[in-house]
């Protein structure tokens, strides 16, 4: 499993100074200083160095970094690009090619079967750039993740996670509230004999995230906190 680099990001591998220069990035080399600060200030668990929990947390953060920021799948080091599939709530599975066509990780994680008119965030109409801009605006200090519990170690890793950030930038037409937004879920990572990720499954409720982002008033002074929709879409 990935371990953090000594001369790079403390929570993610493969972000050394040399790798930042030589890797092909989607939008320039990523910098995690701001979100690392949020993580350290807001985490509820501090795992011992070398523990299974710390290794899983670093793997998840490194895998996410590669999936979101690396432009060339041949440069992925945490996963097998040819075998890899990602599943959401046991309903649908995506290859790396699918993820690229959909527009990246946010659009995959926020998949929904609701009709378009009931969607506060519609992954079918968002691109990689628009989704990244939307959530960087909403969470200017980043959207941190921590591992709360590891239920099984490799080669089949199952764990519970917490994602959080502060709603400090507008979400679509909704004004920021400054509130803490957090949601919880579970995931399963399957590793092959080379310790490369070949399958990931996430189980979460996207409404737990989006419900907090529609509390702010819209430009006409109204809010959607009391939406008549029974699903926080």
Domain annotation for the chain: domains and CATH numbers = 17-213 (3.10.450.50)
What are the backbone angles phi and psi of residue 218, rounded to the nearest 5°? -85, 180
Whether 189 has a pLDDT exceeding 60, the answer reads: yes
Name which residue leads in pLDDT, 105 or 84: 84
| pLDDT score, position 171 | 95
Quote the CA–CA distance of 68 and 40 in Å, as a whole number: 22
Quote the CA–CA distance of 160 and 106 in Å, as a whole number: 19
Query: Which of these, 157, 135, 128, 136, lies nearest to 58 by C-alpha position?
Result: 157
DSSP state of 82: T
Q: How far apart are the first and last CA of the chain?
A: 35
Contact 209, 183 (CB under 8 A): yes
Percent share of the chain, pLDDT over 90:
82
Query: Over the range 111-142, which residues count as b (16 or more CB within 10 Å of their CB) and which as e?
Result: ebeeeeeebbbebeebebeebbebbeebbebb
State whether the Cα torsion 65-71-77-78 is positive or negative.
Answer: positive
| pLDDT score, position 227 | 42
Element at 5 (helix H, strand E): none
What are the backbone angles phi and psi of residue 165, rounded to the nearest 5°? -165, 175
Contact 67, 59 (CB under 8 A): no
Whether 205 has a pLDDT exceeding 90, the answer reads: yes
Taking only the tens place, the pLDDT of each residue in 211-221 is 999 998 886 66
Whether 226 has a pLDDT exceeding 60, the answer reads: no
| pLDDT score, position 8 | 85
Taking only the tens place, the pLDDT of each residue in 29-60 is 999 999 999 999 999 999 999 999 999 999 99
């Amino acid at each position: 499993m990935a371990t953090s680099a000594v001369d790079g990001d403390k929570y993610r591998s493969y972000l050394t100074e040399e790798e930042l220069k030589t890797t092909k990035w989607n939008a320039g080399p990523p910098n995690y200083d701001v979100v690392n600060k949020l993580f350290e200030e807001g985490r509820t668990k501090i795992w011992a160095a070398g523990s299974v929990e710390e290794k899983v947390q670093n793997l998840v953060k490194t895998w996410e970094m590669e999936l979101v920021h690396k432009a060339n799948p041949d440069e992925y080091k945490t996963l097998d690009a040819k075998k890899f599939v990602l599943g959401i709530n046991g309903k649908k599975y995506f290859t790396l090619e699918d993820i690229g066509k959909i527009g990246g990780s946010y659009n995959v994680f926020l998949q929904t079967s609701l009709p378009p008119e009931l969607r506060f965030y519609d992954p079918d109409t968002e691109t990689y750039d628009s989704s990244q801009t939307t959530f960087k605006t909403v969470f200017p200090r980043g959207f941190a993740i921590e591992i709360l519990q590891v239920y099984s170690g490799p080669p089949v890793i199952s764990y519970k996670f917490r994602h959080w950030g502060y709603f400090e930038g507008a979400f679509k037409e909704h004004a920021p509230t400054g509130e803490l937004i957090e949601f919880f879920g579970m995931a399963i990572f399957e590793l092959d004999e080379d310790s490369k990720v070949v399958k990931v499954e996430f189980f979460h409720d996207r409404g737990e995230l989006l419900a907090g982002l529609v509390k702010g008033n819209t430009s006409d002074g109204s809010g959607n906190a009391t939406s008549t929709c029974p699903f926080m879409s």
